[in-house]
Amino acid sequence: MPVSKTQPSTRLRVMSVHKRFDAFKALDAVSLEVNAGELVCLLGPSGCGKTTLLRCIAGLEHQNSGQLLIGERDVSRLPPQARDYGIVFQSYALFPNFTVAQNIAYGLAGDSRDVIRRRVGEMLELVGLTGSEKKFPGQLSGGQQQRVALARALAPAPSLLLLDEPMSALDAQVRDHLCGELRQLQKRLGVTTLMVTHNQDEAMLMADRIAVMNAGRVEQFATPQSIYDNPATPFVAGFVGRGNWLAFERNGERHAKVGGLNLSLPANTLSGARGRLFCRPEAISVNPSEAEENLFPALLKGVTFLGNRCRMSFEFEHLPGQVLLAEVGAQHLAGLSSQHIWVALPPRCLQVFG
């Protein structure tokens, strides 16, 4: 598809940005770098600072200190219109009295009519809405409105695309479909993209890297797989996905006591007399076919059917009162003949936090 304007590939650098609202510290020395053509998600709970950071980058809020660079340009104190970005808001912010074509053309003021008409046609084709140029936003579905907002943001060929929870107003099925479409489009254009979301599935599905934020700080900035498999802090471990926690007392270099259980720990674990063990539910082995380390008798408390998998709650016989979770394939249920089971916590799947 011929395109009259192309999205240049550039990087974004956030350097020790601080932001306060009166006594509230919204951003606390936040630093990160988004590589050219990369899609990075800011992920975290409400109030963690992710939207404030995006608004500072956009120039809609002004940081108290720190630098913001788009490419080699220091945009820290520039007004929004001078920063060369496109933005899609949670509400889409389309003009209800403008047609689809007029909404997309809004950022192309100053170009000739022929250039605008050609660019609007290219953007409609890009987002799969050719033929809808004369419709008004109220005549479109939520997913279609989101596409129009995206086309409007991309029409001026910005060097940076900012997305502020663009899928949150959509139902789950439409959201999953559009996440895939948006990711393919972003890769095709190669536009550097920063997206705010509180939805872990969106972040895992779309991002090259995820910055997990908490209380105004970036707690971990890594690939989705690294964040899930190797969370850097207890907050990241607890926020991303599900997990089991066990308080322990060390009784050897690689051994720990958890209630009435003696567990082998992974090699090269943190030192310290006490701490907490973290384990993902799907890493737990239930009635393993072969002997494994940390294998103990347990009592099955309940099973939740989740389609292609089942979530089992159980208690170790020597650790009563603490319910843990395991996730197994649905076919695994056929092998369960009683509530008495054997459960293994493989050392390789345990992570030690002090």
* Exposure class string for 326-337: b at 16+ Cβ within 10 A, else e: bbbeeebeeebe
User: 153 with 203, same domain?
Assistant: yes
User: 162 with 290, same domain?
Assistant: no
Report the C-alpha gap between 232 and 68 in whole angstroms: 26
Domain end (from 179, 205, 238): 238
Q: How far is CA 97 from CA 120, 130, 138, 150, 298, in A?
A: 17, 20, 9, 18, 64
Predicted structure pTM score:
0.90
DSSP H helical ranges for 169-312: 172-189, 200-206, 224-229, 234-239
Q: Which two tokens stand for residue 5?
A: 């304007």
Report the C-alpha gap between 13 and 347 in whole angstroms: 39
User: 210 with 311, same domain?
Assistant: no
Report the C-alpha gap between 345 and 352 in whole angstroms: 13
Q: How far is CA 2 from CA 121, 125, 126, 127, 177, in A?
A: 11, 11, 11, 15, 26
Looking at the 3D structure of the chain, how many domains does it have? Answer: 2
* Tens-level pLDDT at each residue, the chain (354 residues): 334 444 556 899 999 999 999 999 999 999 999 999 999 999 999 999 999 999 999 999 999 999 999 999 999 999 999 999 999 988 878 999 999 999 999 989 888 999 999 999 999 998 999 999 999 999 999 889 989 999 999 999 999 999 999 887 677 777 777 888 889 889 999 999 999 999 999 999 999 999 999 999 999 999 999 999 999 999 999 999 999 999 999 887 789 999 999 999 988 776 678 899 999 999 999 999 888 899 999 999 999 988 889 999 999 999 999 999 999 988 877 767 779 999 999 999 999 998
Report the C-alpha gap between 213 and 42 in whole angstroms: 7
Where residue 180 sits, what CATH number does that domain have?
3.40.50.300
User: 211 with 279, same domain?
Assistant: no
Report the C-alpha gap between 316 and 306 in whole angstroms: 23
| Sheet (strand 209-214) strand order | 85-88, 160-164, 192-197, 39-43, 209-214, 217-222
Place of tokens 């008004």: 136
Q: Tell me which residue range forms the domain holding 83.
A: 12-238
Residues 73, 160: contact at Cβ < 8 Å?
Answer: no
User: 226 with 281, same domain?
Assistant: no
Domain end (from 214, 238, 262): 238
Domain end (from 180, 203, 238): 238
Q: Which two tokens stand for residue 279?
A: 């384990």
Q: 311: part of which helix (H) or strand (E)?
A: strand 309-316
Residues 160, 85: contact at Cβ < 8 Å?
Answer: yes
User: 109 with 249, same domain?
Assistant: no
